[in-house]
């Protein structure tokens, strides 16, 4: 497929469904476009792209407003949020995130200590 088709798909889905309260939408690009085309199309439209988690499927990507807040994980009544590239927050589900600068090792350790999860630094590859 093409980057132009990916742009059209993103525009149509955002118009049809809209972005959620966090300024993001989950789209399945299986059979529509390759990762490089998706990233280029989203960037030209003013969005960031995050690959979906394994359980969401290989062609699933999250399209987010640039520097938007996005919830990337939920576990044991807690939520893990990222804002842009430099800020993260761990909060109880439903609470407003209180962002702070972070490093991946510190964030992973804090998350696992609070939740009992087994998150690894590999989770953040490509984010």
pLDDT at 67 over 70: no
Q: What is the rounded distance in angstroms from the CA atom of residue 8 to the CA atom of residue 55?
A: 26
Hey, which bits of 5-92 come out as E strands? 24-28, 47-51, 60-65, 69-75, 78-83, 87-92
Q: What is the mean predicted confidence (pLDDT) over 96-117?
A: 94
Domain that holds residue 58: 3-65
Domain endpoint, select from 47, 65, 83? 65
Shared-domain flag, residues 58 and 74: no
Q: Give me the percent of the chain exceeding a pLDDT of 90.
A: 54
Q: What is the rounded distance in angstroms from the CA atom of residue 127 to the CA atom of residue 122?
A: 10
Alpha helices by DSSP H, the chain: 3-17, 35-44, 104-115
Shared-domain flag, residues 10 and 59: yes
Q: Which of 106, 70, 49 is nearest to 119 (CA)?
A: 106
pLDDT of residue 90: 97
Q: Which residue has the tokens 């059979």?
A: 31
Shared-domain flag, residues 61 and 85: no
User: Domain count of the chain?
Assistant: 2
Q: Please, what is the end-to-end C-alpha distance for the chain in angstroms?
A: 24
pLDDT at 85 over 70: yes
Shared-domain flag, residues 61 and 76: no
DSSP bridge pairs for 122: none
At 67, list the tokens: 């520097």
pLDDT tens digits along 102-112: 999 999 999 99
At 123, list the tokens: 């989770």
Give the chain's length: 127
Domain endpoint, select from 65, 85, 114? 65
| pTM of the shown model | 0.54
Shared-domain flag, residues 44 and 73: no
């Amino acid at each position: 497929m093409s980057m132009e088709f990916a742009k059209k798909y993103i525009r149509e889905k955002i118009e049809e469904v809209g972005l959620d309260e966090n300024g993001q939408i989950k789209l399945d690009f299986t059979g529509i476009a390759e990762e490089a085309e998706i990233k280029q199309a989203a960037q030209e439209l003013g969005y960031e792209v995050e690959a979906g988690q394994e359980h969401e499927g290989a062609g699933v990507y999250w399209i987010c407003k640039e520097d938007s807040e996005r919830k990337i994980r939920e576990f044991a009544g807690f939520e893990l949020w990222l804002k842009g590239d430099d800020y993260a927050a761990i909060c109880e589900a439903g609470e407003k995130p209180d962002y702070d600068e972070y490093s991946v090792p510190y964030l992973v350790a804090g998350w696992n200590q609070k939740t009992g999860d087994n998150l690894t630094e590999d989770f953040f590859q490509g984010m």
